[in-house]
Amino acid sequence: MVRKKLVTSTDEFRNLKEPWQQLLEKIPNHTIFMTWEWQFIWWETYAARFPESQLRILAYFNEEKLVAILPYFVYTEAFGPVRLRKAAYLGSKIESSDYLDVITLPEYEPYFVQHLEDDLRELASGADIIELNNCLPDSLFYRVLGGQKNGHAFTETYRVCPYVELPETFDAYLKQLSSNFRYNVRRRVKKLLNKTGARFEEVNTTENIDAVIEDIFKLHYQRALQKGLDTKFVRELRETFHKEVARALLPKHYIRIFHLLSAEDEKIAALYCFEYDKTLAYFQAGFNPDWSNFSPGMVILAKAIEYAIEHDMRMFDFMRGSEAYKKNWGTVDRFIYLITVPNSGKGNKYYQYYKIRKRLAPVVKKWLAHVKG
């Protein structure tokens, strides 16, 4: 038998730290986005950004041991004159928190197959909409409420998350790529590292970590400005969040930060990655546009993949985004899904409107393109 406890205060959330960590140690395929640190820092940083936000964590205990967690919050969102209360997974807004699911031991999965929808409705009492955010097809969320299995929910493809399965050696990996791209990778790495005296380094200490995170944001912004791109990775609030996360999770090896440094220690490029479940995941990068002729983005990515292989990782995850360059690295696409569950009469009306709008959007887009043409 499991005992449920609804956690609604930040102090109670703080007190879950140790049992939460102990639970994750027993779940081999968890991600950084399921850690107590990521979710607690997210809540402290961003909760005030959401109108009328309320913490709603459903914690499950067997006797005194924490065995499962549904970490949610409820907030108000306006759609024109209509105000809806929405329940969403902690960390799933503002930041790109992917691969979310019930945090639970495998032996408790049968419980959630039977009770997940009822428990979500209990957790989201007073909310009009429940969102099961950023979940993979093998997640409990998707298996129980996704696809066509449940008439109460609407499932949509949310993002593509390309990845590469890694072989035993970097040479074997390069052989999987096109001959032209393989040649370019080798040539660019040699040109930058051998001819200029630049070097590839891992940041493995929290010493000066604030400055390291600031460098990542600065280099990313410089590159985005050069390419004329609009980027959301320059907000002051996000920099604060990632400094806190890096301090907490770099010592636990969830975070890997890499630099390309010139012979004079000038920052050429930075790559901000996450590590979990034998996976190295590319979260964000940037480089100094003055070094563009040396393709530092390509070089630091190649060296990071080589690092992952040398450290016996099975996958390099490019995470969300359909950017064309990812295909050059031999990626395979997988998708994360958003599942919407109405939880009130108002929520059901919005849900019906939302389904119609989603289905008509491609038709309207095609019609507008035809009119403009």
121-139: pLDDT as tens digits: 999 999 999 999 999 999 9
Which residue's entry shows tokens 């996976």? 279
Cα→Cα distances 214→84, 93, 226, Å: 36, 22, 18
> Closest by alpha carbon to 89, among 139, 124, 126, 128?
124
In this prediction, residue 79 carries a pLDDT of 82
Reported residue count of the chain is 373
Cα separation values, 176 from 4, 163, 165, 183, 316, Å: 49, 14, 11, 12, 14
Whether 328 is in a domain gets the answer no
For 230, the domain range is 163-317
- Percentage above 90 pLDDT, the chain: 80
Residues 14 and 20 sit within 8 Å (Cβ to Cβ):
no
Whether 53 has a pLDDT exceeding 90, the answer reads yes
Q: How far is CA 351 from CA 101, 248, 346, in A?
A: 22, 39, 9
User: Is pLDDT of 231 > 70?
Assistant: no
**171 and 99 inside one domain:** no
Is pLDDT at 350 greater than 80 in this prediction?
yes
Give the pLDDT confidence score for residue 115 in this predicted structure: 96
- Quick one: angle between helices 236-249 and 36-46, nearest 10? 150
- Do 144 and 173 lie in one domain? The reply is no
Tell me, yes or no, if the pTM score tops 0.75: yes
Please check whether residue 330 lies inside any domain of the structure: no
Same domain, 296 and 277: yes
User: Across residues 267-289, what is the average pLDDT?
Assistant: 94
Kindly report the CATH number assigned to the domain that includes residue 289: 3.40.630.30
The answer to whether residue 245 sits within a structural domain is yes
Residue 152: what pLDDT? 77
Q: List pLDDT tens digits, range 280-317.
A: 999 999 899 899 999 999 999 999 999 999 999 999 99
The mean pLDDT of 220-229, rounded to a whole number, is 67
On whether residue 269 sits in a domain, the answer given is yes
- Kindly state whether residues 303 and 362 are assigned to the same domain: no
Q: Are residues 180 and 142 in the same domain?
A: no
- State the chain's mean pLDDT as an integer: 92
Residue-level pLDDT at 360: 76
> Which neighbouring-strand residues pair with 89?
72
Q: How confident is residue 147, by pLDDT bands cut at 50, 70 and 90?
A: confident
Which pLDDT does position 368 carry in this prediction? 62
Residues 155 and 252 in one domain: no
137 Rama class: left (phi>0) / alpha (psi -120 to 50) / beta: alpha
User: Does 155 share its domain with 175?
Assistant: no
80-85 own/partner pairs: CB under 8 Å, 24+ apart: 82/346, 82/350, 84/128, 84/129, 84/346, 84/347, 84/350, 85/52, 85/126, 85/127, 85/128, 85/129
Predicted local distance difference test score (pLDDT) of residue 372: 65
Instruction: Say if 248 falls within a structural domain.
Output: yes
- Measured CA to CA, the distance from residue 78 to residue 43 in angstroms comes to 21
Q: pLDDT band for position 75 (50/70/90)?
A: very high
pLDDT at 68: 98
Residues 95 and 38 in one domain: yes
Domain assignment present for residue 180? The answer is yes
Residues 145 and 258 in one domain: no
Residue 225 is predicted with a pLDDT of 62
Q: Is 195 found in the same domain as 52?
A: no
Query: Does 15 lie in the same domain as 139?
Result: yes
CATH for 62: 3.40.630
Model confidence band, residue 82 (pLDDT cutoffs 50, 70, 90): confident
pLDDT at residue 367 greater than cutoff 80: no
131 belongs to a structural domain: yes
Q: How many domains does the chain have?
A: 2
DSSP of 219-276, one letter per residue?
Answer: HHHHHHHHHT---STT-HHHHHHHHHHHHHHTTTTSEEEEEEE-TT--EEEEEEEEEE
The pLDDT of 97-102, averaged and rounded, is: 96
